[in-house]
Structure 1
């Protein structure tokens, strides 16, 4: 028994974090003296359908496959795809069969979170967006959620331990619990204590919707902190929210009327792309939680497409080794390896592992740039 219900990294690396039928498969193949040379491909959709998603989780997938006698080609982290393989593995089947469950988990969940985060990012391209959803997922995957959000281009995240893993500093100021701990009517005391307690480099962002009207609490924060107040945050419960856009505009009006046009307005609480589009011209930043962290994983599958040099596939899947391309107009194309691709197409599957050795470096900032550029190229999120 373990203290927490967490599958450890050792079990993942050794292939114990697998579905039982892969163990049965290994036993059967070894009993029969079979270990074919195969090519397997990770795909979500066989043909392009125009519904692009973001490829993420590659760093963890590479760590899983490294050290195994296989060759792996894959898209780069942050690349967008809408059909055909995103990863290709070539080697003796028993070299990687037991790793399939964890491999797909690494890629599927991260790609789902990154895609949702990109949807939020393009909905408010000129406004800061922060990932606040780690509380909705098992803490063991918080760093995955936050890295995936960063790949999509969000401006920061809230989870401290994830920040230590990713080498980034978490952001955040005060929760409702802080205001409640000081008691109803004592919001000014809470604001003042916060200002005196936290380091100077932490923005003074006052949460202004705990007990009373948002505008009333905002003005109380201004009176308490004066010029030290950077911004206010509205996190009004949806059942009490009414017209959130109107509330934000009213707060802005009252701040400006009192000469506090330099105080920003941040909003959070159950926001998704539709809300970001509706509010992006009247607020200065967003905290997006469950929309990113609770995203559905991409439904990747790993399928053998070649056995001992001959095309092979199950019903409904396309046999033969494939290449994928991006053309200048943003098109995504899939074709058989060895056949001519689009004349203006860039091949998207590039070496990741050769003979078990990692041949690619991972740069989070580069992945973010790639996602942004590819999103523009393919028209991701265009209304």
Structure 2
């Protein structure tokens, strides 16, 4: 029995499309029409101050590579607010049936990246890890984790995603491990973990399985001594009460017994609001569903020029455009053949020419994260 997965071959061949693009291609070929067009991908026509973070550009480049098109795109890891994030020029039938996949690549990844930037900015000085791959189809786990890293999160949990991205997944123990040793035997679970895993794995003891968080945290610290890096609190919401108070109590108890070097890491149903509330009492966070379950950005692909003439449907802005970032963090949209703002940085950069990836284009995750951090500062993203 196979998984319900649309594979890479179907995506590259254009089978991962909406049926009406099949009909469109059939009709245009029958009519002998294949105009040269400029198509733009946008979420909003005009800037409104509601920035989002772009991701997914690498997958679009991989899909369009080898096709006779020119593509300009805002690089992954940059904020956008109105106007195109990508422009495709070429004969329409070169990419018509790929629209569904192109929009899916950009929409889903950008939604996840934007949510990850929300939590990154909510706790800028804390360790924040992506724990949400369990909430999504496993076939897209690498996209989830890449998008989280582009936004600046410090790590992720999904092993196979790490294989794809060339980065190592992190994580320690679930409640299931502690439960397998039985109630009252938490020390056996923590000690067995310490004895079994490699020295490069942080010793983080999960401390809320059977008894009070303060009790289990102190027991873990006494069982593992100097080898314990942190305790993790993943208290279920129905038993959590005042989570900030619980964390402060755990911190107090550890300090009172000489375990000042043991960190406190928390997870479980967290989002930006919780991170802002807890960032001064916890050392790090695992964020799951807020990031992985993010709504996709509502991108659309529209033809704006046909054979060199402005053309756009009602409600869309006609003509090829440029987008700019100004020194004050502003986002500006204008026609490509007009002058932009005096201090405006052109955001759309060459991505493919004649179907070849432009020589100096790289898809490095760390570089994208640096861009995201710079843009977030410049645009005051998530400012309180």
TM interval, short-chain normalised: over 0.9
Q: Within 1, Cα distance between the matches of 2:202 and 2:69?
A: 49
What's the secondary structure of 1:334's corresponding residue? Answer: strand
1:80 has 2:90 as partner: no
Aligned to 1:367: 368
TM-score w.r.t. length of structure 2: 0.99
Aligned to 2:298: 299
Could you list the per-position Cα deviations for residues 354-383 of structure 1 after superposition, in whole angstroms to 9, with x for gaps in the alignment? 001111221111101000000000010011
What's the secondary structure of 1:202's corresponding residue? Answer: coil
Q: Within 1, Cα distance between the matches of 2:238 and 2:48?
A: 38
Q: Within 1, Cα distance between the matches of 2:362 and 2:23?
A: 35
1:322 has 2:306 as partner: no
Deviation at 1:35, TM superposition (A): 0.5
Q: Within 2, Cα distance between the matches of 1:232 and 1:83?
A: 43
Aligned to 1:25: 24
What does residue range 92-171 of structure 1 map to in structure 2 within 5 Å?
92-171=91-170
TM-score w.r.t. length of structure 1: 0.99
Runs of 4+ that moved beyond 6 A: none
Could you list the per-position Cα deviations for residues 204-239 of structure 1 after superposition, in whole angstroms to 9, with x for gaps in the alignment? 100000011000111110121111111000000001
Aligned to 1:186: 185
Deviation at 1:60, TM superposition (A): 0.4
What's the secondary structure of 1:38's corresponding residue? Answer: strand
Q: Within 2, Cα distance between the matches of 1:22 and 1:88?
A: 19
Aligned to 2:260: 261
Could you list the per-position Cα deviations for residues 37-59 of structure 1 after superposition, in whole angstroms to 9, with x for gaps in the alignment? 10000000000010000010000
What's the secondary structure of 2:376's corresponding residue? Answer: helix
What's the secondary structure of 1:323's corresponding residue? Answer: strand
Aligned to 2:242: 243
Q: Within 2, Cα distance between the matches of 1:199 and 1:340?
A: 59
1:57 has 2:47 as partner: no
Could you list the per-position Cα deviations for residues 221-272 of structure 1 after superposition, in whole angstroms to 9, with x for gaps in the alignment? 0121111111000000001000000000000000000111100000000000
Matched positions, count: 382
Across the aligned residues of Structure 1 and Structure 2, the Cα RMSD in angstroms comes to: 0.6
Could you list the per-position Cα deviations for residues 296-328 of structure 1 after superposition, in whole angstroms to 9, with x for gaps in the alignment? 000000000001111111111101000000000
| Structure 1, unaligned runs of 5 or more | none
Could you list the per-position Cα deviations for residues 5-48 of structure 1 after superposition, in whole angstroms to 9, with x for gaps in the alignment? 01000000010000000000000001111101100000000000
Aligned to 1:336: 335
Q: Within 2, Cα distance between the matches of 1:35 and 1:361?
A: 32
1:308 has 2:307 as partner: yes
What's the secondary structure of 2:264's corresponding residue? Answer: strand
| Structure 2, unaligned runs of 5 or more | none
What's the secondary structure of 1:86's corresponding residue? Answer: strand
What's the secondary structure of 1:199's corresponding residue? Answer: coil
1:228 has 2:227 as partner: yes
